A and B are shown apart, each in its own frame.
Chain A
Amino acid sequence: RKEVEQDPGPFNVPEGATVAFNCTYSNSASQSFFWYRQDCRKEPKLLMSVYSSGNEDGRFTAQLNRASQYISLLIRDSKLSDSATYLCVVHNTGGFKTIFGAGTRLFVKA
């Protein structure tokens, strides 16, 4: 079983739609959680950190459920520019072990 698992998609949604991605992790000692965005043939870039209380950044909302060991990302009012691969990232402090999920591909269509 992979340490961080994501639905690879692709998710095909129309502009203006709401879309949600889930990610599960297997190490209960994991301490930091992130969503990164990666455009085609580009480097990953931090989209947002994920905090225990949940956090929002504009149209993006991230949630963490430690009991069930999953992280979610909600994108509201999707834009064409949101088309990318979204990477779930888990970091285990105290060993510098960062695990990337394989990514979920999103296509937003006009």
Chain B
Amino acid sequence: NAGVTQTPKFQVLKTGQSMTLQCAQDMNHEYMSWYRQDPGMGLRLIHYSVGAGITDQGEVPNGYNVSRSTTEDFPLRLLSAAPSQTSVYFCASSRKGLAGGSYTDTQYFGPGTRLTVL
């Protein structure tokens, strides 16, 4: 299994450009999510999906769109890039399960995309 893959690894955009960050997983996980990580702030949830055809907003959704047409793929679209979107973007997938008597959902992360918006 490749796990969670993300492309590209690095990207530089100019303000106003649009682009799509790709994410795919081959573990048949129902849940997929996008996070951004900024220095000193931890990972913040952008959008998530609990299954094909179902998406919802996370903590910081503005400026981003997602779709989930298949279980495997969950692309993140930047509509009009802004310097404030300079960050490291991580895609993650998970499947709910039981462990130790409690629900748990280990998240598996892709290697990240480092995006700079000039």
Binding site for B on A (CB under 8 A): 4, 8, 31-32, 34, 42-46, 49, 51-53, 55, 87, 91, 93, 96-98, 100-103
Contact = CB atoms under 8 A, between A and B. Distances in A.
Given A34-B104, A51-B100, A51-B101, 18 more contacts: A8-B40, A32-B102, A32-B105, A42-B111, A43-B112, A46-B107, A49-B99, A51-B99, A51-B102, A53-B100, A87-B42, A96-B48, A96-B50, A96-B56, A98-B45, A98-B107, A100-B43, A101-B42
Contacts of B45: 97-98
Contacts of A43: 90, 109-112
A44 B90 contact: yes
Interface residues of B, number: 27
Contacts of B2: none
Nearest to B31: A96
B106 to A, nearest CB: 5
Contacts of B43: 44, 87, 100
